[in-house]
């Protein structure tokens, strides 16, 4: 039986391992033909399960886009998920720009695979690594100075308003969404490329083997699995499926673990603060009044500059007070920084929602948009309070040391 027209010239690789045939369909993230190819494959061949290049959070976003928009930003900051929201913002902004230019919603082929599995009552396997974990591993895979460039690239992805070059759209049709979003850095850094692409090839192969092993013990084992992935993963995933020897569960656990943070930046900051407090202690040793003055300077400088940051961001009076209180006691309160506490106070009083991200790109074109958009204002609050706290610490240290000379 000949393949239907929609499947002609589509990249397909068939891998048999452990009695399971994996029919791997390489798709383009910005292509109507890829969506039609997925639908044709499901109609043309029979499968026992469908696997897609999605993690749980991205799949949930496709199933119910409105649920993500109703996320409480205060809760996001409090639970330490601000990085995940920022990553989602970067990707959604990049996707929106692609959709506006191409007229095709990126990920439509994944949605078609999910819908097809549901209609046929087939198990759906989500085999990709959580996007937040991927970005954290990518961030920690590069050196200190490279992170500045990566951060600049992330900000450019969010705020860039110029059209994406046609060559980049064509590259995306043959590649990977994450790789394309950070293509400049991924191409120049092997560790970054491995985190965004290579590790995910290994992770997805392990997840397929893991799900197949679970299925083999059920009443209806999966013998033929349709795997829908970006074409950029086709070669790597096929090779991993054929050669991977690690225990699949152990491999998944290994690649889903976020590497620990480097400790030296934290210890450097602690050392600088300890020097200031040693100076305050010395001031008390010399003279109680001098010590009280040094302690007052610490509170006024750190709290004052942090509060000025909240004020400049148009913060609510409660977030200004929170900044003033949180900044001086920062050394005794590990965890959320003063900017985070002030931002949480701002988010609690004014309740920004992630739905504000929808208009963020348009609002921040005008300077007034930073204060009008609730998300932008909360982020501005976080940034300015954090900067104000750092300025206050250095100013306090200089002033205290001068008073002791």
Q: 49-52 and 12-17: which strand pairing? A: unpaired
| Closest listed residue to residue 370, CA positions, set 392, 386, 352, 389 | 352
Please report the pLDDT score of residue 267 as a whole number: 76
Do 132 and 196 fall into the same domain? yes
Do 224 and 316 fall into the same domain? no
> Domain range for residue 108?
5-255
Do 10 and 110 fall into the same domain? yes
Q: Which tokens sit at 96?
A: 């929106």
Do 281 and 337 fall into the same domain? yes
23 or 11, higher pLDDT: 23
- In a 13 Å sphere around the CA of 151, the CA atoms on its Cβ side amount to 8
Q: What is the pLDDT of residues 275-330, one digit of tens each?
A: 888 888 988 988 898 889 999 999 999 999 999 999 999 999 999 999 999 999 88
Do 210 and 304 fall into the same domain? no
Do 154 and 293 fall into the same domain? no
Do 280 and 249 fall into the same domain? no
Do 398 and 320 fall into the same domain? yes
337 contact partners, CB below 8 Å, separation of at least 6: 330, 386, 389
Among 38-42, 158-162, 207-211, the minimum mean pLDDT is found in 158-162
Give the domain-ending residue among 255, 273, 292. Answer: 255
Do 67 and 20 fall into the same domain? yes
Q: 20-27 and 12-17: which strand pairing? A: antiparallel
CB 160 within 8 A of CB 18: no
258 contact partners, CB below 8 Å, separation of at least 6: 133, 136, 137, 140
pLDDT averaged over every residue in the chain: 81
Do 293 and 315 fall into the same domain? yes
Please report the pLDDT score of residue 355 as a whole number: 67
Do 238 and 353 fall into the same domain? no
pTM, whole model, 2 decimals? 0.71
Q: Which tokens sit at 180?
A: 């394309």
Give the domain-ending residue among 255, 280, 308. Answer: 255
**Range ranked top by mean pLDDT from 21-30, 70-79, 119-128:** 119-128
Cα–Cα distance list, 397 to 141, 232, 279, 330 (Å): 34, 52, 8, 15
Among 38-47, 126-135, 199-208, 364-373, the minimum mean pLDDT is found in 364-373
Please report the pLDDT score of residue 362 as a whole number: 66
Do 17 and 138 fall into the same domain? yes
């Amino acid at each position: 039986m000949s393949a239907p027209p929609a499947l002609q010239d589509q990249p397909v690789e068939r891998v048999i391992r452990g009695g399971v045939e994996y029919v791997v369909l390489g798709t383009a993230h910005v292509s109507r033909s890829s969506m039609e190819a997925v639908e044709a494959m499901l109609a043309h061949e029979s499968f026992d399960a469908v696997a897609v290049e999605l993690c749980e959070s991205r799949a949930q976003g496709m199933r119910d886009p409105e649920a993500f928009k109703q996320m409480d930003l205060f809760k996001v900051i409090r639970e330490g998920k601000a990085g995940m929201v920022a990553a989602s913002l970067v990707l959604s902004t990049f996707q929106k720009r692609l959709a506006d230019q191409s007229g095709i919603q990126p990920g439509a082929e994944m949605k078609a695979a999910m819908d097809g599995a549901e209609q046929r009552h087939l198990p759906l396997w989500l085999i990709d690594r959580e996007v937040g974990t991927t970005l954290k591993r990518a961030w920690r895979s590069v050196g200190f100075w490279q992170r500045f460039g990566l951060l600049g690239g992330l900000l450019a992805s969010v705020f860039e308003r110029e059209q994406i070059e046609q060559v980049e759209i064509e590259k995306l049709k043959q590649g990977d969404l994450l790789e394309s979003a950070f293509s400049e850095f991924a191409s120049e850094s092997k560790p970054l490329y491995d985190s965004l692409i290579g590790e995910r090839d290994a992770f997805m192969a392990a997840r397929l083997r893991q799900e197949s092993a679970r299925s083999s013990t059920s009443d209806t084992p999966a013998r033929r699995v349709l795997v829908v992935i970006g074409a950029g993963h086709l070669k790597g995933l096929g090779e991993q499926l054929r050669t991977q020897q690690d225990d699949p569960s152990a491999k998944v656990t290994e690649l889903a673990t976020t590497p620990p943070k480097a400790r030296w930046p934290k210890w450097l900051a602690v050392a600088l603060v300890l020097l200031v407090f040693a100076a305050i202690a010395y001031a008390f040793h010399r003279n109680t009044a001098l010590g009280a003055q040094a302690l007052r300077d610490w509170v006024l400088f750190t709290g004052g500059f942090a509060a000025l940051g909240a004020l400049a961001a148009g913060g609510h009076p409660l977030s200004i007070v929170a900044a003033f209180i949180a900044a001086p006691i920062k050394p005794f309160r590990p965890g959320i920084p003063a900017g985070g506490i002030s931002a949480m106070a701002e988010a609690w009083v004014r309740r920004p929602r992630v739905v504000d991200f929808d208009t963020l790109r348009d609002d921040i074109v005008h300077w007034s948009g930073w204060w009008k958009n609730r998300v932008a204002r909360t982020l501005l609050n976080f940034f300015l309070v954090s900067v104000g706290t750092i300025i206050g610490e250095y100013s306090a240290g200089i002033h205290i040391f001068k008073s002791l000379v």
